[in-house]
Amino acid sequence: MEKLLVAKIGGNIVDNEVALEHFLKEFAAIDQPKILIHGGGKIATRIAEKLGVKTQMINGRRITSRENLDIVVQLYAGLINKNIVAALQATENCNAIGFTGADANLIKAIKRPVKDIDYGFVGDVTEVNEDRIHQFLANGLTPVFCAITHDQNGQLFNTNADTIASKIAVALSAYYEVSLYYCFELKGVLKDINDKDSVIEKINTATYNELKLKGIIADGMLPKMENCFDALQKGVAQVHIANATFVTNQNVVHTTLTM
pLDDT (average), residues 85-100 = 96
Q: What count of residues does the chain have?
A: 259
Residue 99 has pLDDT above 70, yes or no: yes
Report the amino acid identity of residue 225: M
Distance CA 213, CA 206 (A): 11
204 versus 40: which is more confidently predicted? 204
CA nearest neighbour of 183 among 24, 63, 55, 73: 24
Which tens digit of pLDDT belongs to each residue from 53-85?
988 887 667 799 999 999 999 999 999 999 999
Contact 146, 203 (CB under 8 A): no
Can you give the three-state secondary structure of 212-232, one letter per residue? Answer: HHCCCCCCCHHHHHHHHHHHH
Q: What's the Cα-to-Cα distance from 80 to each of 40, 147, 158, 221, rounded to whole Å?
A: 7, 11, 14, 23
The pLDDT of residue 60 is 63
Which tens digit of pLDDT belongs to each residue from 26-36?
999 999 999 99
User: Helix-strand-coil percent breakdown of the chain, rounded to 5?
Assistant: 40, 25, 35
Alpha carbon dihedral 242, 13, 40, 91, in 10-degree steps, equals -110
Report the amino acid identity of residue 60: G
Report the amino acid identity of residue 39: G
Distance CA 49, CA 65 (A): 14
The pLDDT of residue 236 is 98
Q: What's the Cα-to-Cα distance from 136 to each of 106, 132, 171, rounded to whole Å?
A: 11, 7, 14
Which tens digit of pLDDT belongs to each residue from 103-149?
999 999 999 999 989 999 999 999 999 999 999 999 999 999 999 99
**Proportion of the chain above pLDDT 90, given as a percent:** 83
Band of the pLDDT at 220, cuts 50, 70, 90? confident
Contact 143, 36 (CB under 8 A): yes
Distance CA 27, CA 130 (A): 22
Q: Go through the domains of the chain in sequence order and give each one's CATH number.
A: 3-257 (3.40.1160.10)
Average model confidence (pLDDT) across the chain = 94
Contact 244, 250 (CB under 8 A): no
pLDDT (average), residues 239-246 = 92
Distance CA 42, CA 57 (A): 12
pTM for the full predicted model: 0.95
